[in-house]
A and B are shown apart, each in its own frame.
Chain A
Amino acid sequence: MTKTSFRLALTGLAAGLSLAAMQPAAQAAEAGPKPPALSWSFAGPFGKFDRAQLQRGFKVYKEVCASCHGANLVRFRNLSQPGGPEFTPGQVAALAATYQIKDGPNDQGEMFERPGRAADAFPSPFPNEQAARAAQGGAYPPDFSVLAKARTYTRGFPTFIFDIFTQYQEQGPDYIHALLMGYEEPPAGVTLLPGQNYNKYMPGHLIAMPKPISDGQVEYPKGPDGKSPVPETVDQYSRDVAAFMVWMAEPHLEARKRLGMQVMIFLVIFAGLLYYTKKKVWSRMPDGSPAH
């Protein structure tokens, strides 16, 4: 393109940019502060889950969240598959057996309960959505299976374009962590109805879930010195459970990134070879004369 048309294009882009600048101001009022971007072990092209963190996250989920939130797409066997918390199959079988799973009908046509097996899904805390709502004062605690991918916040222009290159995609866990940390006293002028709680990061700030966890509530496995290697705080619990939720939502994340690197290396080398082959082919016309 020539200089003039380039300048024209730039002017247009600048117009678009200034238009875009209006946007954060318009939305900031209702959406509240952006969740802080944390550093996650599974971010970036070489990202891997931290096994110990996933195991801690599972403990938090099991002891705290699971009383209201199901995860009906996750099966016990997933906990021992590669790229996850990687419990041993024995641990998983023992864990599954502590749950009673509804099965049937048997020969008498009756449903019965039996100990869980590795192939069973996590049992939901409520038999159906209506039961959950009835027990929770009308609010429905969402299923955790893919929740880490279903929660996000607006990145805005031009950040969302940079995200392509930085591979930032941890809006879900950042938001979940922020939400768990975001319980506050409502500011003056906001009155809460019964069953409402104030959260700085919740869109609209009103959330039905009361502050679910507090410092020291979940006991983490002890290190050799008799103390937990990570602090038993809400901040740490939130990080761990958010990481666990990312794994639940994307159990093959590690395999994906690993294969991605192999594919990328292959394609770049292949493209290089093709480039020189193309150059070679195009250096001569079919009759052998130089192309230029």
Chain B
Amino acid sequence: MSGHSSYVPKTGIERWLDARLPIIRLTHDSAVSYPVPRNLNYLWTFGGILVFMLVAQIVTGIILVMHYTPHASMAFNSVEHIMRDVNYGWLLRYLHANGASMFFVAVYVHIFRGLYYGSYKAPREVLWILGVVIFLLMMAAAFMGYVLPWGQMSFWGATVITNLFSALPVIGETIVTFLWGGYSVDNPTLNRFFSLHYLLPFMIFGVVVLHIWALHVVGQNNPTGVEVKNVEKDTVPFTPYATVKDVFGMVVFMIVFSWFVFYQPNFMGHADNYIMANPAATPAHIVPEWYFLPFYAILRAIPDKLGGVIAMGSAIVVLAFLPWIDTSKVRSMSYRPIARQLFWAFLVVCIGLGYLGAMPAEGGYVIASQIFTVLYFGYFVALFVVGLFERPKTLPTSIADSVLASAKGGSAARMATATAAEPNVKG
């Protein structure tokens, strides 16, 4: 889809610059004339929302660093200094803390959209794998950021998660000592986490550039999963069509974001993190932030230390192999009756795991976690098997046809002239 450029420099300066650094051409080709399938629904606005969230986190983060002190004895109070004394410090800090959560809300919607519409399938494998890399980097950044306020949850979260590496045979203990920079989580740990927390967003930014580059090479998937055949009929230019839609999506997302920032700023956090880190007392219920809960549940479901770590790691890594696990030729689950049900079941399993991750690791919860862990991995097995025999529904011949058919279906329903309209199967 990255065909020839339609950019025509208008002024002399533009021509001069274009011959030397075609940056306006690049912007024009990727954000103005870039063809977008015309049938994209609002789930496709989450890519733009994620870029917005990344920029918002970087901007608020850079500002918070101006007022934060990365030292074990001062970090907690410096965060409170931001909350109390810095002009609008409370706003910036709540934006950053809730922004992390909202970032994950958006990324999960983005991931599940990709899962439903088969956006990982050829030729988008590299695009998808880059996405998994971004997801991993985000998790690392979020984890290290959560350590910085140096509250009880920060401290014990850091202790528990870094101890995961001790499960590795032979080298495990050494790795943990190197992560800590000492014999326990302490000031050196805080300082290196702070350094890496500042670095990672820029690494994410770099991979996002690759992610978008790959996207613009292969073009966007769409709800039908049918490739663009006729650019004239099947697509619309990015600007103004996708731009205005993305901005609308962003603003609606910002309403939700603001609701938490202004009215429920501590909803996603833990009360225990308002107690300064105390190496002598662990809070009664250690739970990670909500976005890690499903993976945490998988970790705890396995009664073996190394096994749990491997299971948790596999739960993320398996996503990268999805393009080859899913054997079906059809992308969109709108046309896959069996796989679609598997998808919804998988969504419920993930939410269920999230719930179990927040519950104490005892009795029925452990058994339920084990069942749900099997179901989680079962999805990937089932997807492999189902693809081999599933009979998909008839695909529309083109994106334009599908748009026209659904428009006809819609108007037919309005006018109550009952001819058999194709069912509108958009998710």
Contacts and interface: CB of A to CB of B under 8 A. Distances in A.
Interface stretch (B76-84, B167-175, B323-331): B76-84
Interface string A266-281: 0110110011011001
Contacts of A15: 348, 352
Interface in A254-292: 255-257, 259-261, 263-264, 267-268, 270-271, 274-275, 277-278, 281-282, 285-287, 291-292
Contacts of B407: 292
Interface residues of B, number: 58
A146 B352 contact: no
Contacts of A2: 340, 425
A149 B274 contact: yes
Contacts of A270: 251
A249 B274 contact: yes
Interface in A43-57: 45
Nearest to B411: A292
Interface in B327-374: 340-341, 343-345, 347-349, 351-352, 355-356, 359, 363-364, 368
The prevalent SS among residues of B at the interface is helix
Interface stretch (B195-203, B216-224, B255-263): B255-263
A164 interface: yes
Given A1-B344, A260-B262, A157 B251 contact: no
B254 interface: yes
A269 to B, nearest CB: 10
Interface in B252-278: 252, 254-255, 258-267, 271-272, 274-275
B247 A274 contact: yes
B90 interface: yes
B210 interface: no
A171 interface: yes
A151 B271 contact: yes
A123 interface: no
B275 A12 contact: no
Contacts of A151: 271
A188 interface: no
A16 B348 contact: yes
A52 to B, nearest CB: 23
Interface string A1-44: 11011101100110110011011001000000000000000000
Given A169-B264, A169-B266, A267-B254, A149 B271 contact: yes
A257 B266 contact: no
Contacts of A263: 258, 262
Nearest to A148: B274
A73 interface: yes
B236 interface: yes
A274 B244 contact: yes
B245 interface: yes
A196 B82 CA distance: 38
A16 B251 contact: no
Contacts of A285: 38, 236
Contact of B237 (A150, A259, A286): A286
A23 B364 CA distance: 10
Contacts of A252: 83-84, 90
Nearest to B90: A252
Contacts of A275: 248
Given A145-B80, A150-B275, A274-B251, A257 B355 contact: no
A257 B248 contact: no
Nearest to A44: B263
Interface of B: 38, 77, 80, 83-84, 90-91, 94, 232, 236-237, 240-241, 244-245, 247-248, 251-252, 254-255, 258-267, 271-272, 274-275, 284, 340-341, 343-345, 347-349, 351-352, 355-356, 359, 363-364, 368, 403-404, 407, 411, 425, 427
26 contacts: A2-B340, A8-B348, A9-B344, A9-B345, A12-B348, A16-B348, A16-B351, A19-B356, A73-B80, A151-B271, A164-B260, A167-B263, A169-B267, A251-B84, A259-B262, A260-B263, A264-B255, A274-B247, A274-B248, A274-B251, A278-B244, A285-B38, A285-B236, A287-B232, A291-B403, A292-B411
Given A19-B368, A149-B274, 19 more contacts: A1-B344, A5-B343, A12-B345, A12-B351, A12-B352, A20-B355, A150-B274, A151-B271, A152-B271, A167-B264, A169-B266, A252-B90, A256-B94, A263-B262, A267-B251, A270-B251, A281-B241, A282-B245, A286-B237
